[in-house]
Amino acid sequence: SFDKVVVNLVKASEEAGTLEATLSDIKKNIQAENEFSDKVKSALTYPLFVFGVFVVVMGVMLFVVMPKISQVFSRLRVEIPLPTKILMWVSAFVIKNTLYVGIGSALFMGALYLFYTKKRRLLLSILAKLPVISMLYKKVDIVRFSRSLGLLLNSGIPIVNALELSIDVVTRRDLRNLLENSKKMVYAGKEFSSGLRAKKGVMPTLVIKLIELGESSGSLDKAMNDVTEYMD
């Protein structure tokens, strides 16, 4: 019911006697996560609507328009372009095998749903590699990571433990590997920001600068909150 971040926050606050303040922080964090999710969902509403319209129009084309056009073209002795031939063939195939196509589509959607529920992290990692979505996914991961790390550090949890818990929310493999290596560097007594510089292009430069500033001023938890606000 509760993720590792929340469990460890409550545990640390009980030991420190700051449970009330920590629960308040957790409440704010959950509200921020929900607002963030709502923003993403609202941003996806229009593309999903357009995709739905596309599916309906394609269905009308295949089942109603193309059969009539095919009859007209069959009477004319003209060279038909390849895209039109493909569309005519698909239309004829779908009409002749409507039942099988329907069952196949239902099975495919069911398999995709099961794969999403059982292997959600793997599916998200595949989506995170797509050209347009990859940059968005990176920002989402940075927001979730920085929000969790800031909350854990603010509750007095040591940075090594906080990093171990926060890395668990990251989906992208390249970002996850960078954070894992940065955690090892912190174990070795080096700064967290120096680990983030190890591989260029993974973590935004401004984010690294904010973290570096937070480390030098002894207010890394505040710096992570600033990163969250900026990337959000």
Alpha carbon 177 to chain centroid, angstroms: 17
Pick from 147, 157, 112, 173: nearest CA to 229: 147
Residue 7, both tokens: 């469990």
Going residue by residue through the chain (232 aa), what tens digit of pLDDT does each one get?
Answer: 888 888 888 888 887 788 888 888 889 888 888 887 888 788 888 888 999 999 999 888 888 888 888 888 878 777 888 888 888 888 888 888 888 888 998 999 999 888 878 877 777 777 767 777 778 888 888 988 898 888 888 888 888 888 888 888 888 888 889 999 999 999 888 889 888 888 888 888 999 999 999 998 988 989 998 998 888 8
Helix axes 131-154, 4-16, angle to 10 degrees: 10
Residue linked to tokens 């069911």: 110
Pick from 149, 153, 201: nearest CA to 175: 201
What CA–CA distances, in Å, run from 8 to 19, 81, 148, 150, 206?
12, 64, 11, 13, 29
Helix axes 4-16, 19-60, angle to 10 degrees: 170
Alpha carbon 18 to chain centroid, angstroms: 33
Full-prediction pTM beyond 0.75?
Answer: no
